[in-house]
C-alpha cells in the first residue's frame, strides 16, 4: 500500500481524504493557498506545502505547483478530490510522466467522459439515450440563438467542461440566450479554463438521478445504487438522498447495468458517477437519459457510503494501488435511508445572495466525521455525520465554493432520516455570515418533500416569492411563547440578583405578554407550572442568561432553539424559521400602544451591491434612461455571476463604481434620479 499521498484540494474534501488515509496508515500531504494557511486540513495533514496566492487560478489550478509539492515531499500518489484539477487529462498525464499515481480513472476515460460534448457523442455511438440537443462547437451568440430556435425552447446552455452547477443557464426565449450565452462562456473559462458551450433540450418535470459506479484495474465494474439529487437551486444541488423515492428495483437494475456498460466502454476504473435525467411525467420510470459522467468523487458520496457501508475514498486508494475490489455486485445492498444537506454561506432571506466573512461562531451538531467502524464511520454517531473544513474564527472566502459543511443523516426509513436532519439543523450554530440552515430545514419539513414528489423545479415552484421562513404551526408558536416567558423570567431574576440595590425580596414578574408576529399570548409562571393562555404547558429546560442554544423538553418532545436577546425580548430560531419575540411584563405591555412606528427610508433609487464581489460589467452611464427589469450591472461572487436589474423606470443620476472594482456588501453602485 502507498506510504504517503498528496491531496490536491482543500476544505472539507481534503479533510475527508485525510481521515480515511490516516485510518489506512497512510501519511498525507496538504497543499494550500494564502487564504487557507490556517485551515483545518492544513493542520490535519502530516505535511503541508504552500502553493501560492488565494485565487485558485494562481494556486490549486496550477498542476506544476502540485507536482513540485509532490516531488518535494516524496508522495507516491495524488488524490484530486473534486473540482479543480480532478477531471483534467493534462494533470493526470503530467503525474504519469513523473511516475506519480493518480487516484482516479485512466486518462482516456477522463478525456472521453469529462468533456460533456465528447461524452455525449460516445454515448450516442454506444446506443445510450441522450437528451436531444446540439453536440458540437457553437461559434457565437447568433449561432446559439439559431440552434436554440431549432431545438425548441426551453433549452439549457452548458459549459462543456462545467460541473457543480457552474456554467449553466436555462433559456426560455431568444432574449435569455442573448443575455446568458456569453456569461455561460465566461463562467466556463473562469472556473474550468474552457469556454466551449453546448445546448440541449430542457426536459420538463425532470428528476436528477445519478448512479455511483466503482471499478478496479482488473476489469470489474459495479454500481452502488442511485442517488436522488433533484432539489437544486441555480443547477447547484442542495439536497441529496439515497436511495431515490422514485426508483423501483427494476429501474435501478436497468440504470445500473446501462451505466456499467458505458463505463466498460471506456475502460473505466476508480469511483465515478453517471448522471441521468428522468422524466417525472413517465410513471413507468423508464424514460431516463444520459447527461454526463463525472470521472471523480462526488460531493454527495456520503449518502451512498451510509446505505452501502462502502468507504469510497478507501476503495479509490486501493484501486489506484492495483488491488482488486473485494466485493461483487451481489454484495451491494441498501441498508436504510440517507439524506445530505449542503450548508452554504448564502442568505436565503435575501434571495440566496452569497455571504462571505468570518465565522464568529461555528458549532456543528456533532463532531466531524469519525472513522471508528462501519456503523459510526460511514454514518456518524447516532446516524448524524458532519463533513466540514472550516473552524470557528476562520473565514469563508470569496475565492472558493460557498459550502460550509455537509450534514448527513441516516435512518431506517426516509422519514427518520429527514427527522434527524431537522433536529441536527436546529442544533447547528453558525454566526458571522448568512447561511441556509433555515431553508434546508424548511425543505425537510415540506409536505411535497415528504411525499417524494420531487423535480429539479422544486425550489422555484414551492418558493416562487423567495424564502421567508418555514411554515409554523399554532402549537409551535404556543410552545415558543412558553419558552420566551421562561427566558424572560430567568433574565429578570438574574438582573435582580446581580443588582444588589434592589434587594432579594423583589421577585421577577410572574406574568408576561409574549407577541410573536401577529399572535399574542399571556404566559404565567409559578413554581408549580407554566400556563400559556390558561393552558398548562409541560416544559422542562435549563437556561443561563447568555446561552445561545437552549434545549427544551415540551410534552415529551425535544426542541432545540437558538436564542439572541433583543431590546424587548428575544430572536428565537428553530424549525427553519426566525421569530422576533417581544416579551414584556403584563403591567408594561399595554403601554406599547403609545409608541411611534419608525418608517424605513426608500432605497429604491440606489443600486446596491447585495454581496461582496467583483463588478464584472456596468451596462449604463450617467444620463441613460432605464426600464424596470433592465440589467444594470453584473457582480461576480463565489465564482458565479449575478445580474443586477433596475427596480423601476428612471434616469441614471450618478455612477459610484467602475468595472473591475471589488465591492463590499451594500456598496452603492449607482444612483437613479
**Among 208, 255, 271, 270, which residue's Cα sits nearest to residue 236?**
208
Helix (DSSP H) and strand (DSSP E) numbers for the chain:
17, 40
Peptide bond into 243 cis (omega under 30): yes
* Spatial contact of 346 and 434, defined as CB atoms under 8 Å apart: yes
Residue 247 near residue 255 (C-beta atoms within 8 A): yes
Q: Which of 641, 636, 646, 644 lies closest to 612, judged by CA?
A: 636
d(CA 285, CA 245): 12
Here the cell at position 190 is 473562469
Phi, psi (rounded to 5 degrees) for 638: 50, 40
292 is an active site residue: yes
| Secondary structure (3-state) at 241 | strand
Catalytic residue from among 200, 210, 275, 292: 292
Residue in the structure block whose three cell numbers are 466551449: 196
The values of phi and psi at residue 92, to 5°, are -60, -40
Q: Write the secondary structure of 638-656 as one string of H (helix), E (strand) and C (coil).
A: CCEEEEEECCCCEEEEEEC
Q: Which helix (DSSP H) or strand (DSSP E) does residue 618 occupy?
A: strand 613-618
Distance, in Å, from the CA atom of 205 to the CA atom of 227, rounded to the nearest integer, reads 18
Joined together, the cell numbers standing for residue 242 give 439515497
| Helix, strand, coil share of the chain (percent; to 5) | 30, 35, 35
To 10 degrees, the CA torsion angle through 12, 14, 19, 23? Answer: 160
Residue 144 near residue 157 (C-beta atoms within 8 A): yes
Burial bucket for residue 292 (CB in 10 Å: 0-12, 13-18, 19+): buried
Joined grid coordinates for residue 337: 435511508
Catalytic positions are 292
Amino acid at each position: 500500500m502507498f506510504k504517503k499521498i498528496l491531496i490536491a484540494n482543500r476544505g472539507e474534501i481534503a479533510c475527508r481524504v485525510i481521515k480515511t488515509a490516516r485510518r489506512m496508515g497512510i501519511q498525507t500531504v496538504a497543499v494550500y493557498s494564502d487564504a487557507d494557511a490556517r485551515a483545518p486540513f492544513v493542520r490535519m495533514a502530516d505535511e503541508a506545502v504552500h502553493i501560492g496566492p488565494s485565487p485558485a487560478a494562481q494556486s490549486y489550478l496550477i498542476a506544476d505547483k502540485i507536482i513540485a509539492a509532490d516531488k518535494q515531499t516524496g508522495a507516491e500518489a495524488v488524490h484530486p478530490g473534486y473540482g479543480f484539477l480532478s477531471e483534467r487529462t493534462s494533470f493526470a498525464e503530467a503525474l504519469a510522466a513523473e511516475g506519480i499515481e493518480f487516484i482516479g480513472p485512466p486518462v482516456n476515460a477522463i478525456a472521453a467522459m469529462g468533456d460533456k460534448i465528447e461524452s455525449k457523442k460516445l454515448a450516442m455511438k454506444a446506443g445510450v439515450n441522450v437528451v436531444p440537443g446540439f453536440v458540437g462547437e457553437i461559434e457565437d451568440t447568433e449561432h446559439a440563438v439559431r440552434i436554440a430556435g431549432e431545438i425548441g425552447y426551453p433549452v439549457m446552455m452548458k459549459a462543456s467542461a462545467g460541473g457543480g452547477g457552474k456554467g449553466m443557464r436555462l433559456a426560455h426565449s431568444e432574449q435569455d440566450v442573448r443575455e446568458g450565452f456569453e456569461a455561460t462562456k465566461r463562467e466556463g473559462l473562469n472556473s474550468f479554463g474552457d469556454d466551449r458551450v453546448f445546448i440541449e433540450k430542457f426536459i420538463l418535470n425532470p428528476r436528477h438521478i445519478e448512479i455511483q459506479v466503482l471499478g478496479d484495474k482488473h476489469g470489474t465494474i459495479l454500481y452502488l445504487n442511485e442517488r436522488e439529487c433533484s432539489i437544486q437551486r441555480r443547477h447547484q444541488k442542495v439536497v441529496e438522498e439515497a436511495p431515490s423515492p422514485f426508483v423501483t428495483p427494476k429501474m435501478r437494475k436497468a440504470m445500473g447495468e446501462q451505466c456499467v456498460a458505458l463505463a466498460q466502454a471506456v475502460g473505466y476504473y476508480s469511483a465515478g458517477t453517471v448522471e441521468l435525467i428522468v422524466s417525472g411525467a413517465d410513471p413507468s420510470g423508464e424514460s431516463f437519459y444520459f447527461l454526463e459522467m463525472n470521472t471523480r468523487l462526488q460531493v454527495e458520496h456520503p449518502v451512498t457510503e451510509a446505505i452501502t457501508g462502502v468507504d469510497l475514498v478507501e476503495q479509490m486508494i486501493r484501486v489506484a494501488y492495483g488491488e482488486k475490489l473485494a466485493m461483487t455486485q451481489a454484495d451491494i445492498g441498501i441498508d436504510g435511508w440517507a439524506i445530505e444537506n449542503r450548508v452554504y454561506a448564502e442568505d436565503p432571506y435575501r434571495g440566496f445572495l452569497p455571504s462571505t466573512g468570518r465565522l464568529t461562531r461555528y458549532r456543528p451538531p456533532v463532531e466531524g466525521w469519525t472513522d471508528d467502524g462501519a456503523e459510526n464511520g460511514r454514518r456518524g454517531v447516532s446516524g448524524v455525520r458532519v463533513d466540514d473544513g472550516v473552524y470557528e474564527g476562520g473565514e469563508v472566502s470569496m475565492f472558493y465554493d460557498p459550502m460550509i459543511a455537509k450534514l448527513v443523516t441516516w435512518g431506517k426509513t426516509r422519514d427518520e432520516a429527514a427527522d434527524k436532519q431537522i433536529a441536527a439543523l436546529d442544533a447547528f450554530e453558525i454566526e458571522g455570515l448568512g447561511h441556509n440552515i433555515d431553508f434546508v430545514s424548511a425543505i425537510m419539513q415540506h409536505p411535497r418533500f415528504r411525499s417524494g414528489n420531487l423535480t429539479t423545479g422544486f425550489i422555484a415552484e414551492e418558493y416562487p416569492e423567495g424564502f421567508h421562513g418555514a411554515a409554523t404551526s399554532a402549537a409551535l408558536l404556543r410552545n415558543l411563547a412558553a419558552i420566551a416567558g421562561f427566558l424572560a423570567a430567568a433574565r429578570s431574576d438574574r438582573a435582580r440578583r446581580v443588582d444588589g440595590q434592589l434587594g432579594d425580596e423583589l421577585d421577577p414578574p410572574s406574568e408576561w405578554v409574549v407577541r410573536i408576529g401577529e399572535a399574542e399570548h399571556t404566559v404565567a409562571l409559578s413554581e408549580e407550572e407554566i400556563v400559556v393562555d390558561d393552558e398548562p404547558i409541560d416544559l422542562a429546560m435549563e437556561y443561563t442568561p447568555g446561552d445561545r442554544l437552549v434545549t427544551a423538553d415540551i410534552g415529551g418532545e425535544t426542541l432545540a432553539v437558538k436564542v439572541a436577546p433583543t431590546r424587548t425580548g428575544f430572536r428565537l430560531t428553530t424549525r427553519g424559521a426566525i421569530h422576533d419575540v417581544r416579551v414584556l411584563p403584563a403591567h408594561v405591555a399595554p403601554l406599547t400602544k403609545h409608541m411611534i412606528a419608525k418608517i424605513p427610508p426608500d432605497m429604491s433609487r440606489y443600486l446596491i451591491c447585495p454581496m461582496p464581489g467583483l463588478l464584472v460589467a456596468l451596462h449604463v452611464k450617467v444620463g441613460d434612461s432605464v426600464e424596470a427589469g433592465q440589467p444594470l450591472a453584473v457582480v461576480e461572487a463565489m465564482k458565479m455571476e449575478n445580474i443586477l436589474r433596475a427596480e423601476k423606470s428612471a434616469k441614471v443620476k450618478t455612477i459610484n463604481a467602475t468595472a473591475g472594482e471589488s465591492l463590499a456588501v451594500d456598496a452603492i453602485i449607482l444612483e437613479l434620479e
